[in-house]
Amino acid sequence: MTIKLTSEEMRYITLFEGMTGARVHDCVIDESGSGLVFVVKKGDIGLAIGRKGDKIRRARQVIGKSIEVIEYSDDFTEFLKNTFVPARVKEINVVEREGKKVAIVTIEKQDKGIAIGVKGKKIQNAKKLVHRHYEIHDILLA
């Protein structure tokens, strides 16, 4: 599946890659426009964050938006788990509903708020990413 990036997303990717040295696979601007999610190539998460978080902190200052970094994986369940870090995922099941794939994600009870995120941002970004990469149309938290 090919991902179509906007010119704004491509600009952010170029800037982030230049600042961190991490190779970016995808970029999503959240609904409010105040945050970015970068999906970095497998193994590049440490490069993106930097020692003691210095690279990501600098990128936040330069870009002026909150930034979340997720490690890409070809394995759907691993990728989906990565979108919810630091929330602990217990189980993932994919079902068909009205001809569309839906992921049912069971999260540790005390981590549900983390999985949803402030104003639902984390779950919305996760939905957008799994739809773009795996054609999963929705995520339900259990």
CA separation for the pair 99, 17 (Å, rounded): 38
Domain presence at residue 1: no
Q: In this structure, are 89 and 102 located in the same domain?
A: yes
| Sheet strands (E) in 4-76 | 24-29, 35-40, 66-71
Q: What average pLDDT does the structure give for the chain?
A: 94
Write the pLDDT tens digit of every residue in 67-110: 999 999 999 999 999 999 999 999 999 999 999 999 999 999 99
Structure confidence at residue 1 (pLDDT): 61
Residue span of the structural domain in which 133 resides: 76-141
pTM of this structure: 0.92
Report which residue type is found at 120.
Answer: G
Residues 102 and 122 grouped into a single domain = yes
Output the domain CATH number for residue 126: 3.30.300.20
Sheet of 35-40, strands arranged across: 24-29, 35-40, 66-71
Shared-domain flag, residues 43 and 86: no
Tens digits of residue pLDDT in 113-137 = 999 999 999 999 999 999 999 999 9
